[in-house]
Structure 1
Amino acid sequence: DIEAWMPGRNEYGEVTSTSNCTDYQARNLNIKFRRKGKNEYVHMLNGTAIATSRAPLAILENYQTKDGHVEIPKVLQKYVGKKQI
């Protein structure tokens, strides 16, 4: 898990998660591969790329200015096209 500071909660909150499911999901989905002539179940990862409500919330709460604007983190400015909203 990766967590971000959420001032409104006064605690860290999960913004993404990844789990090693070993062969549990593959058995239910019957997903196999062949190794040395023998079929075996694959091991799978399960992941949330981003919690679409919590990640933006963390940015808004941590970068909001006293006048109500939100400073866009430098690493995101090229994607947003602005320094502040």
Structure 2
Amino acid sequence: MWETINSKNNDLISLDMIFVDEKGNDIHAIIRKMQLAKFRLLLTEGSVYTFKNFKVVNAAGQYRLTVNDLKIIFLINTVIKFEDEK
């Protein structure tokens, strides 16, 4: 997880992550600044989660973080459930 900062004015843009599923597939995920207060403390690097109610969009742009053509954007109604790894 890392913060993306606007280099022109030093404002926080988003919290970015790379999610990896049980098959090793990865996808870029974004929590935008306006949803950050709700989700930031619910996520810990290296933990296992189930997510519901998020938006999947094309991973357009010059700086692609994964080879995946899609990325995940958290919404205000996104649900995060911590899963105990067994």
TM-score when scaled to structure 1? 0.22
Structure with greater Cα Rg: 1
Higher strand share: 2
Higher helix share: 1
